[in-house]
Structure 1
Amino acid sequence: MRAYRFDEPNNLQALRARQEAVGAPQRGEVLVRVRAVALNYRDISLILGRYVWDTAAGLIPCSDAAGEIVAVGEGVTDFKPGDRVISIFHPRWFGGRVPKGAAMQTYGNGVDGWLCEEKVVSQEALVALPDDISFEEGATLPCAATTAWTALSGATPIRAGSTVLTLGTGGVSIFAVQLAKAMGARVIATTSSAEKAERLRALGADEVVNYNEVEAWGRHVRKTLTGGVGVDCVVEVGGPATINESLRAVRPGGEVVLIGFLSEENPGIDYFLLKGSNAVVRSIAVGDRAALEDLVRAWRGARLKPVIDKVFDFDEALEAFAHMQAGRHVGKVVIRVG
């Protein structure tokens, strides 16, 4: 089978396909024929040395995939050949407290990922993909969609009448808009252009703020768009360059959910702003297997469709990474395998 690896560290142009052997599934394992892989900003940050956890070199990249079972090992009861499946982001976190060492056992930074034609994994590292969700759509759900679901369904879950603030038009933010609207929430989104603003409104955003035109957008969201109250939840994907504005936008007792680090600059967090916000700041790492299963049920129940910016062929994987790095996409970038 063919698999992609980066031949050099810190070089996105060093992605190369090679022929590799794939083993037979052992007890409790299954062999998956990969049909689609979705990219995340994480996949780029791993290669460029910007990830929040340590990274092993030379691994197959990508954490998100959909495919079908082609063989099962002894003792497998969850799946049979022909079943459609998607990967879970943390292959050993099934629920409850995060297992020790989980950070270094995720795909692409601690173990080989999914940018390959076939892969052997534990049956517990997969969930079923319903027939009415395509492989390309299913591949978008394990990381970005599950992260958005975890952000909105924490200790104080979003419900009808809540107000949610999302940042930008990346995968997590788009999923957060769709899911929050399905929950009956009011959604305020930020973006950088009129064109992207229209896309966000079409997906259900009630208000859109262009941060290139409104520099103090957090204060604007709180004072102008929420009447001085603030939002119930900020899906914070920007990181150090946006956190202070997010703290200005959230209401006392609301949540700022730390997810991403799209910005490279790090001006630091204003401690007095953090303390004075009286908000809960919650850092999440995608979610467990149970969260993905819940997300798939909610996704189907609300009849939602993921926003896929572009689908590349397997031979175009390098172009897919370049497209992702350019940052002009809206929604998810997908690689079709086979």
Structure 2
Amino acid sequence: MRVFQIEGDWGFDNLNLSERLEPKSGPGQVVIAMRMASLNSRDLIVPERGYGQATGDLPLIPVSDGVGEVVEVGEGVTRVAVGDRVCTTYFQNWIGGEPTPERFASALGGPLDGVMADLVCLSQEGVVKVPDYLTDAEAATLPCAALTAWSAIVTHGQTRAGDQILVQGTGGVALFALAFAKMHGAHVTVISSSDDKLEHVRTMGADETINYRETEDWARASRAITSDRGGYDNIIELGGAETLPLSLRAVRPGGTLSMIGVLSGLNIKASLGPIVARQVRLQGVTVGHRDGFEAMLAAMAQHQMRPVLGKTFAFEDLKPALDHLRQGGHFGKTLIEF
């Protein structure tokens, strides 16, 4: 069967279209014929071994997010059946509860082999059934970006009607966060450097928008929006080093900074004073567990929520798809069709 794998040494030059033997299911396992995959920022980091030892060993099949059809089940499989359409879960061993080192060590696409293969063999515990209303392309976007947003807005954020949320940017996680926050009755502000993208998110339900290139001090600009409570209840923090100091000024006393992205850098220069004096919670968010995934799917089906899709590439065009993702400027999830 066809696979894309990083082989010989790390680096994008060593990401090659290759072949492996077709897998067979063992006890408790399922074989999935992959249909679609979607890309995340992580997929640009893994080939360069950006996560160190946690990235795994070579050869490694990259990419964590995808959807396919179950074509074979092993002895004892009860969660799914042949013919079911399923999504992979990002953390294969994290069913529910609190994270542990062992659960965090079970990520697809590094250290475990990912989905860029015609056939993928996984534990039945590492897949979830997909609602019928979603297309393959829509379902493929869900395992990382959607679940990360759901964890930030619902699992950890416990968003309630009337809460005020700020979402940074218009990437995959940001667009899902906007949709889930609106689903729960929140007032949402989105910041971006693109007026065109801000116009898009207004059509998706964003209540307020700020262009942070035109208004660099967006924390000050947001005060008029949140004047009744002194700041946002939850800020979906995707920028990292450059945005965190502003987020600390824009969050309300007792509010939450949902730390997800580090797009502007890892090392921050911010005063710790506001965190203590205003009792701000810094909540790291690393995707989520299967229980959260299935709760998210139930909510999406109830509201018939549809993900925002970007450009689709053929399986053999994984490298051009990654280049497209790296260049930025796109709107919606980048997809791979098998």
User: Normalising to structure 1: TM-score of the pair?
Assistant: 0.95
Residue 3 of structure 1 is matched in structure 2 by 3
Shift of 1:316: 1.3
Residue 54 of structure 1 is matched in structure 2 by 54
Q: How does 1:150-165 map to 2 (within 5 A)?
A: 150-165=151-166
Q: 1:277 to 1:50 in 2, by over 3 A?
A: farther
Residue 218 of structure 1 is matched in structure 2 by 219
Confirm or deny: 8 A CA contact 2:192 2:211 kept in the other structure. Answer: yes
- Are positions 1:274 and 2:275 aligned together? yes
Confirm or deny: 8 A CA contact 1:88 1:126 kept in the other structure. Answer: yes
Letter in 1 for 2:154: S
Shift of 1:268: 2.6
Q: How does 1:150-299 map to 2 (within 5 A)?
A: 150-221=151-222, 223-227=223-227, 229-264=230-265, 266-299=267-300
Partner Cα distance (2:53, 2:179) in 1: 29
Shift of 1:218: 2.0
For residues 214-243 of structure 1, the C-alpha deviation after alignment (integer angstroms, 9 at most, x for no partner) is: 11112322x222126111111111122211
Residue 72 of structure 2 is matched in structure 1 by 71
Confirm or deny: 8 A CA contact 1:146 1:287 kept in the other structure. Answer: yes
Residue 135 of structure 2 is matched in structure 1 by 134
Q: 1:292 to 1:25 in 2, by over 3 A?
A: same
Structure 1: unaligned runs, 5 residues or longer: none
Shift of 1:14: 3.7
Shift of 1:15: 2.4
Confirm or deny: 8 A CA contact 1:9 1:48 kept in the other structure. Answer: no
Confirm or deny: 8 A CA contact 1:248 1:277 kept in the other structure. Answer: no
Letter in 2 for 1:110: P
Q: 1:9 to 1:181 in 2, by over 3 A?
A: farther
Letter in 2 for 1:127: V
Letter in 1 for 2:296: L
Confirm or deny: 8 A CA contact 1:13 1:318 kept in the other structure. Answer: no
Partner Cα distance (1:232, 1:314) in 2: 41
Confirm or deny: 8 A CA contact 1:9 1:57 kept in the other structure. Answer: no
Shift of 1:76: 0.8
Confirm or deny: 8 A CA contact 1:250 1:277 kept in the other structure. Answer: no
Shift of 1:52: 8.4
1:153 counterpart SS class: helix
Partner Cα distance (1:203, 1:8) in 2: 45
Confirm or deny: 8 A CA contact 2:275 2:281 kept in the other structure. Answer: no
Partner Cα distance (1:258, 1:251) in 2: 16
CA root-mean-square deviation: 1.7
Partner Cα distance (1:269, 1:86) in 2: 39
Shift of 1:9: 5.4
Residue 307 of structure 1 is matched in structure 2 by 308
Partner Cα distance (1:49, 1:276) in 2: 39
Letter in 2 for 1:102: R
Letter in 1 for 2:113: D
Shift of 1:103: 2.4
Partner Cα distance (2:50, 2:270) in 1: 19
Partner Cα distance (2:278, 2:11) in 1: 40
Residue 92 of structure 1 is matched in structure 2 by 93
Partner Cα distance (1:155, 1:148) in 2: 10
Structure 2: unaligned runs, 5 residues or longer: none
Q: 1:107 to 1:155 in 2, by over 3 A?
A: closer
- Are positions 1:17 and 2:27 aligned together? no
Shift of 1:185: 0.7
Partner Cα distance (1:139, 1:179) in 2: 18
Letter in 2 for 1:40: N
Letter in 2 for 1:325: R
1:254 counterpart SS class: strand
Letter in 2 for 1:16: N
Shift of 1:325: 0.6
Partner Cα distance (1:204, 1:11) in 2: 40
Letter in 2 for 1:154: T
Q: 1:281 to 1:327 in 2, by over 3 A?
A: same
User: Normalising to structure 2: TM-score of the pair?
Assistant: 0.95
For residues 264-301 of structure 1, the C-alpha deviation after alignment (integer angstroms, 9 at most, x for no partner) is: 36343322233234211111211100000011011111
